[in-house]
Chain A
């Protein structure tokens, strides 16, 4: 695990890696997963003792093993463990931690928590309470931003009370509008509405999600900027009124308002715009006497107009790409600032060295609305750390469970290069070398995004995914050449396995005259296609070689002279078996229009129908919540409800039968 983060900063910025100043003896990390591991690494570097907190199911998690001490703060549900302030305060007292790093999410932007820490004289590694309060409330933050002369989006600056209010306000602003939780972040509790009906529905969902995620159901409404880019500025400020902007991160590739691929810098910004955005971000930080690391998010339209979206008063998930291009360790800077040190750098010291890209590797099924959570045990797991200029921030290892209780993120895969092209090509290699088995993951989608011509040219917006894949992501479409290579590899694998089966050691009763086969006729099932092949061992057209064996999880192959890293599942049959297979009956698939199955593991929040009800096509049948996200499941046809198999509060697995229609 300790190897799992490689510093990919530039050599020119070694000044920031000078001996760490005296800060704290012991820091408690009030978080889990990769971010807890990330913070602990910096603590180790700075010679600070670390304390992990964990829920009971996380008792053997990586962050617990890495930390010097660990305290259990409650059972699995986050509300009883990682959000359990009483237990965390107890942990701080019992371990004598002098400071707390909250990571992101959980208590990172919780003013109450910051207050309680302050009351006990424990340092919160983050901004002061008033900044959290000011920026944590989207309504107030917008007013402050306006006053600080930061560009803001037109909208309604008050709290929306009812669905009717929401409709009235939406009509005033003009559709489309965005409904979002006042206390929100990370895309949770956010809905876009294009008409009155959607506004009502959005109001209902957003307030429910907001209540369950943040314990605060207040909503606000603003003009929705269609087809914008999401670009954010990293700021760093100290307690002495100094503030810096550490350049931008381009985070436009999103699904359901959650980021998937990020890069720094952005291909879209020129130095004038960058400076303007950076300066406004610093103005805002100064306006709230911000200290620590923070992020000012902007929407940027096609004419490079930018609008303030929100300020995140914490370390962002995607902070590693900023670290890569600036050479700064943001966690270290946060710890220094929290101790009261002045910033080490001036604005002109902040470089943009090279290019960094981050892919968020999730345990989710990318073929279902670009990613529905998947759970399971990582039966095999291997990070691509054999490659240079690759950083993997993760908090799991082979054998870890991805459970329904927490965010399904497996890791953040960061690649770095002198140029964007270099970083992208490295990302392609890294994704190909990543082995994840046991859960469904989104690497196919990530690889598709970073190799898409529109992404490569930099022509992206927050609508990239729905625009490029209007019918949803269907997986990579193989070209003829690639397919031929893949088939050749599959054939090579099949033949190797067949030849091995004939090698039984120490058994004298194997036929002494084995059939020497140099010509094979095979058939492969690839996706829905069937491909027949003639394979010549020694002398065929597609040449496959490489150092691998039948136990390898990764297949490094040289195909016609090109090096490829392969992982695949192709069923290969002999020609005879394939011919006979044509007599085999098709298994009748279940008629899915009259049954509703859970598309993912989660818990049932609401069931909107009862047996005997007649539902229209598209009508909501029930709502499933997984990883704090609510998903409305609808009827595939007009029908009468035959039987309801679930009730609110129940936990369901993927594929569980929920409701039967007639």
Chain B
């Protein structure tokens, strides 16, 4: 009986078994990957196995596996021996459903050759990516791999490149999500980097081009894996990852929640879930949120939580470039992308990192038909040599470019400051904002009163009087409103109601940019 032979069936010659029995045996072998010992070791590291991850990510019994019988084709270094062959090789691939919606998944199996990428491994991933493109469904990659299958040499490198190419071709066609759940080093990192979102698991996942040993030998720096490429580094310092989760279970359950926000492809509309939160709910707490003193901070997240459905906001990059807040929420059930300046951090000014963070998010929303709601309280771009030398001009231009290029419904609410060039950038009327509102506390001006008066009335006396006059004239929403640069000045409490109503109207918005091979965003 085949079951009798498990788990070490691979050691037996299979030639004398019937085909049916061989099928069963292979399938069973595929299910245990690298064997119980390695599964235990995986668990001991606080990680789930590739199959456990897939099972938890997808709806029960919805997983349809492909290429369970694929094996690597390497014949060097003794790899051709039966004991070095694992049905399915080091990755589990297939499709399934999350809350009934189609998704393609690959999950690298660390218990088989450390999840290393062979030609066969890459081929399996490419196959499901191609299918996902054909039918228009997202791809989620669960990365847990030691790197290239060194025994295979260039074949492995070719495999990476095949995946990269597909990542690029799929970009903007179907959402691609990477969840780093173990090591991901060397060339392998470029696949997650090309996908729309990279999420990590705290303490057990690493992303780096070269590991600590190579770093030590080349630059003589002493650095740990965690410091070099752990979840904390990438979510706070480098901005490579978009979110970090506590552990595998937490990450996978959050992926299910996150997936609910996304459309299946660029041909599908932004999803609408049944909504219990009244769309005409008045949010009275917003009437007092903006402090009287213009220099005093408040938390933009308070506004976002209060306005969106059920206070449910999935923030992207919550720990990086915190002077801008981006993330997904729903308005009357419909997925929207939210962008907001955060007055609590660096007064909400725009700098290199926040511009890049905002731009990438806006472009994702635009690619996948997700309306963008922008909350503006921005005193301008951050001055200084660090910013200028770092290229704030070309990085700031990215955000400007992204907002200008976007053709999805765009609603903008100026809560307080909208100063200078940053006013233009933040989804202004001039960049084809569909609906632009100002709260009564809004100030649309070239700069703050003090700075403006020092220039206009340089060397004159009565600076205080001039400042008062400037405040009277410009520190309010009227200059923008009389020119039609904002469509209305609204009571903060009514913001939710108005946005929900506008989104309904804008659902049929059609806007096309001029034909081009592709645009040339200032990278």
Interface positions of A (Cβ within 8 A of B): 56, 59-60, 377-379, 381, 397-400, 498, 500-507, 509-511, 514-515, 549-552, 573, 576-577, 580-581, 583-585, 587
Give a binary string over B334-347; 1 marks a CB under 8 Å from any A CB, 0 the rest: 00000000000000
Q: Is B306 a contact partner of A583 (Cβ separation < 8 A)? A: no
Is B487 close to A, CB under 8 A? no
B262 to chain A: closest CB distance in Å?
Answer: 11
User: Residues of B contacting A551 with CB < 8 Å?
Assistant: 275-278, 309-310
CA of A381 to CA of B306 in the docked complex: distance in angstroms?
A: 12
10 pairs from A and B in contact (CB 8 Å cutoff): A379-B285, A379-B302, A399-B285, A399-B288, A505-B273, A507-B271, A509-B264, A515-B60, A577-B253, A584-B246
Is B159 close to A, CB under 8 A? no
Nearest-neighbor residue (CB-CB) of B204 within chain A? A585
Q: Which listed residue, B48, B100, B286, touches A580 by the CB 8 Å rule?
A: B48
Is B186 close to A, CB under 8 A? no
Give a binary string over B487-507; 1 marks a CB under 8 Å from any A CB, 0 the rest: 000000000000000000000
User: Residues of B contacting A505 with CB < 8 Å?
Assistant: 272-274, 333
A488 to chain B: closest CB distance in Å?
Answer: 20
| Contact (A581, B286) CB under 8 Å given A379-B306, A504-B271 | no
CA of A397 to CA of B249 in the docked complex: distance in angstroms?
A: 38
CA of A576 to CA of B53 in the docked complex: distance in angstroms?
A: 11
Is B12 close to A, CB under 8 A? no
Q: Is B274 a contact partner of A507 (Cβ separation < 8 A)? A: no
CA of A56 to CA of B203 in the docked complex: distance in angstroms?
A: 46
Q: Is A584 a contact partner of B248 (Cβ separation < 8 A)? A: yes
Q: Which listed residue, A502, A573, A584, touches B46 by the CB 8 Å rule?
A: A584
A68 to chain B: closest CB distance in Å?
Answer: 20
User: Residues of B contacting A507 with CB < 8 Å?
Assistant: 101, 264, 268-269, 271-272
Q: Which listed residue, B43, B285, B292, touches A56 by the CB 8 Å rule?
A: B292
Q: Is A577 a contact partner of B102 (Cβ separation < 8 A)? A: no
Q: Is B287 a contact partner of A399 (Cβ separation < 8 A)? A: yes
Give a binary string over B196-212; 1 marks a CB under 8 Å from any A CB, 0 the rest: 00000001000000000
Is B193 close to A, CB under 8 A? no
CA of A53 to CA of B62 in the docked complex: distance in angstroms?
A: 65
User: Residues of B contacting A577 with CB < 8 Å?
Assistant: 56, 249, 252-253
Q: Is B100 a contact partner of A511 (Cβ separation < 8 A)? A: yes
| Contact (A504, B273) CB under 8 Å given A379-B285, A397-B284, A398-B284 | yes
User: Residues of B contacting A509 with CB < 8 Å?
Assistant: 101-102, 264, 268
Interface centre among B203, B272, B288 (most CB of A within 10 A): B288
Size range of the chain B interface in the assembly: 35 or more
Q: Is A501 a contact partner of B273 (Cβ separation < 8 A)? A: yes
Is B236 close to A, CB under 8 A? no
| Contact (A501, B260) CB under 8 Å given A60-B292, A515-B61, A583-B48 | yes
| Contact (A377, B302) CB under 8 Å given A60-B292, A550-B276 | yes
Is B467 close to A, CB under 8 A? no
A65 to chain B: closest CB distance in Å?
Answer: 9
Q: Is A506 a contact partner of B46 (Cβ separation < 8 A)? A: no
Nearest-neighbor residue (CB-CB) of B275 within chain A? A551
User: Residues of B contacting A583 with CB < 8 Å?
Assistant: 43, 46-48, 248
User: Residues of A contacting B276 with CB < 8 Å?
Assistant: 549-552
Q: Is A510 a contact partner of B302 (Cβ separation < 8 A)? A: no
User: Residues of A contacting B269 with CB < 8 Å?
Assistant: 506-507
B175 to chain A: closest CB distance in Å?
Answer: 14
B308-356, CB < 8 A from A: 309-311, 333
Q: Which 9 residue pairs across A and B have the least CB separation, nearest first?
A: A399-B285, A585-B46, A549-B276, A551-B277, A551-B276, A584-B247, A398-B285, A501-B99, A505-B272
CA of A399 to CA of B99 in the docked complex: distance in angstroms?
A: 35
CA of A498 to CA of B59 in the docked complex: distance in angstroms?
A: 11
Q: For chain A, what secondary structure do more than half of its interface residues adopt (helix, strand, loop), or is it mixed?
A: loop
Is B388 close to A, CB under 8 A? no
B248 to chain A: closest CB distance in Å?
Answer: 7
Nearest-neighbor residue (CB-CB) of A65 within chain B? B288
B156-204, CB < 8 A from A: 203
User: Residues of A contacting B278 with CB < 8 Å?
Assistant: 551
Q: For chains A and B in complex, what number of residue pairs have CB atoms within 8 angstroms?
A: 113
Q: Which listed residue, A56, A399, A500, touches B273 by the CB 8 Å rule?
A: A500
A513 to chain B: closest CB distance in Å?
Answer: 9
Is B155 close to A, CB under 8 A? no
In addition to A377-B299, A583-B46, 7 A-B residue pairs with Cβ atoms within 8 Å of each other are A381-B285, A399-B289, A501-B273, A504-B100, A515-B60, A551-B309, A577-B253
Q: Is B249 a contact partner of A580 (Cβ separation < 8 A)? A: yes
A648 to chain B: closest CB distance in Å?
Answer: 25
CA of A56 to CA of B296 in the docked complex: distance in angstroms?
A: 12
CA of A585 to CA of B99 in the docked complex: distance in angstroms?
A: 28
Is B82 close to A, CB under 8 A? no
A25 to chain B: closest CB distance in Å?
Answer: 30
B48-79, CB < 8 A from A: 48, 52, 55-56, 59-62
CA of A397 to CA of B283 in the docked complex: distance in angstroms?
A: 12
CA of A251 to CA of B212 in the docked complex: distance in angstroms?
A: 65
User: Residues of A contacting B252 with CB < 8 Å?
Assistant: 577
Q: Is A580 a contact partner of B310 (Cβ separation < 8 A)? A: no
User: Residues of B contacting A399 with CB < 8 Å?
Assistant: 284-289, 306
A449 to chain B: closest CB distance in Å?
Answer: 30
Nearest-neighbor residue (CB-CB) of A581 within chain B? B249
A498 to chain B: closest CB distance in Å?
Answer: 8
Q: Is A503 a contact partner of B305 (Cβ separation < 8 A)? A: no
Nearest-neighbor residue (CB-CB) of A438 within chain B? B302
Is B85 close to A, CB under 8 A? no
Is B432 close to A, CB under 8 A? no
Q: Is A400 a contact partner of B288 (Cβ separation < 8 A)? A: yes
Is B97 close to A, CB under 8 A? yes
| Contact (A576, B55) CB under 8 Å given A60-B288, A511-B97, A583-B46 | yes
Nearest-neighbor residue (CB-CB) of A72 within chain B? B292
B260 to chain A: closest CB distance in Å?
Answer: 6
Nearest-neighbor residue (CB-CB) of B253 within chain A? A577
CA of A378 to CA of B311 in the docked complex: distance in angstroms?
A: 14
Give a binary string over B3-39; 1 marks a CB under 8 Å from any A CB, 0 the rest: 0000000000000000000000000000000000000
CA of A509 to CA of B102 in the docked complex: distance in angstroms?
A: 8
CA of A498 to CA of B252 in the docked complex: distance in angstroms?
A: 15
Nearest-neighbor residue (CB-CB) of A57 within chain B? B291
Q: Which listed residue, B55, B56, B272, B277, touches A504 by the CB 8 Å rule?
A: B272
User: Residues of B contacting A581 with CB < 8 Å?
Assistant: 249
CA of A355 to CA of B329 in the docked complex: distance in angstroms?
A: 48
Interface centre among B260, B274, B309, B310 (most CB of A within 10 A): B274
Q: Which listed residue, A500, A514, A585, touches B203 by the CB 8 Å rule?
A: A585
B514 to chain A: closest CB distance in Å?
Answer: 30
CA of A551 to CA of B309 in the docked complex: distance in angstroms?
A: 8
User: Residues of B contacting A573 with CB < 8 Å?
Assistant: 249, 253
Nearest-neighbor residue (CB-CB) of B278 within chain A? A551
Nearest-neighbor residue (CB-CB) of B43 within chain A? A583
Q: Is B100 a contact partner of A514 (Cβ separation < 8 A)? A: yes
User: Residues of A contacting B310 with CB < 8 Å?
Assistant: 550-551
Q: Which listed residue, B55, B274, B306, touches A503 by the CB 8 Å rule?
A: B274
Q: Which listed residue, B272, B275, B292, touches A506 by the CB 8 Å rule?
A: B272
Nearest-neighbor residue (CB-CB) of B55 within chain A? A576
B279-303, CB < 8 A from A: 284-289, 292-293, 299, 302
User: Residues of A contacting B293 with CB < 8 Å?
Assistant: 56
B344-375, CB < 8 A from A: none
CA of A577 to CA of B100 in the docked complex: distance in angstroms?
A: 18
A497 to chain B: closest CB distance in Å?
Answer: 10
User: Residues of A contacting B284 with CB < 8 Å?
Assistant: 397-399
Nearest-neighbor residue (CB-CB) of A517 within chain B? B60
User: Residues of A contacting B97 with CB < 8 Å?
Assistant: 511
A171 to chain B: closest CB distance in Å?
Answer: 54
B211 to chain A: closest CB distance in Å?
Answer: 22
